[in-house]
Amino acid sequence: MISYKELGLVNSREMFKKAIAGQYAIAAFNFNNMEQLQAIIQAAVETRSPVILQVSSGARKYANQTLLRYMAQGAVEYAKELGLEHPQIVLHLDHGDTFELCKSCIDMGFSSVMIDGSHHPYEDNVALTRKVVDYAHKYDVTVEGELGVLAGVEDEVSSAVSHYTRPDEVVDFVTRTGVDSLAISIGTSHGANKFTPEQCTRDANGVLIPPPLRFDILEEIEKRIPGFPIVLHGSSSVPQDLVAIINKYGGAMKDSIGIPEEQLRRAAKSAVCKINIDSDGRIAMTAAVRQVLATKPAEFDPRKYLGPARDSLKELYKHKLINVLGSANEL
């Protein structure tokens, strides 16, 4: 058993409380490798933002759980080396689907876990989530539950259809499970193709315009559980300039569309205190790698294309922290 506190990490409890009071949201950036982690920490330090390092089940398998533990510890020390004396960094499991997976992450030093039982019948979701909460809270690890189902595909999480969160269920769910935060479904979606063309309209230039988020559902949930930490998954904006670079240099990302940033900023001013961003990071890195390899075909040093990819990712994340989530200068 390794406590996250030994690694210099924090859980999300106080972080979320401050975010709700300050009307901003904490970024949860997914990572799989060193360059992504460097970009996240550099962006957090340069903007003086708290941050959540988010790891999916697939990323955990890819990077190895032992390496992840030391990478997280290294991230804390790296942030201090860059000049942030008291970094606020959470290591969070994204979309844990079993008690065993959540327990393993807690035992390996994660400071926060998500148990996603939303694909189960309601009572089974409650029971599974409660079981994880009971174990996690013994070690002061925070737990995120989920009500509602997001459409789309990302890593090992997929659903063909979305089911909006039912406000009538939220009081019962958070009371019986004891979760510390709740992921809801109000129209966001996983992946880079969050909506079909049929779900969107097109502007004068033929660019897809996605349907608006269901803020009416969010507002009703806030009335039912005032001040309770709310989480949005599937919240990448899919920057069209980066998609254009990918497609220019051999990519085939057709009709890729995300969540408009102004809608995410509006959400961040509410009880939404954690916003998950994964696809945008993948797109930023892929665009930079494709551009280098296409314009410098003789290049074979990974540092020469992964370095620009890391720099592009850092700039994207700084933009998100400052202009979208509003968490800059909160440390």
Cα-Cα-Cα-Cα torsion 16, 17, 22, 27, nearest 10 degrees, comes to 0
Place of tokens 């916003």: 275
Answer whether 176's CB lies under 8 Å from 130's CB.
yes
Of the listed 94, 97, 116, 278, which one is catalytic? Answer: 94
- CA dihedral sign, ordered 223, 118, 110, 135: positive
Q: What is the DSSP letter of 306?
A: H
Answer whether 79's CB lies under 8 Å from 71's CB.
no
- CA dihedral sign, ordered 170, 172, 175, 176: negative
Answer whether 176's CB lies under 8 Å from 133's CB.
no
Structure tokens at 293: 């390899």
Q: Is 140 a catalytic residue?
A: no
Structure tokens at 326: 């509003």
Residues tagged active-site: 94
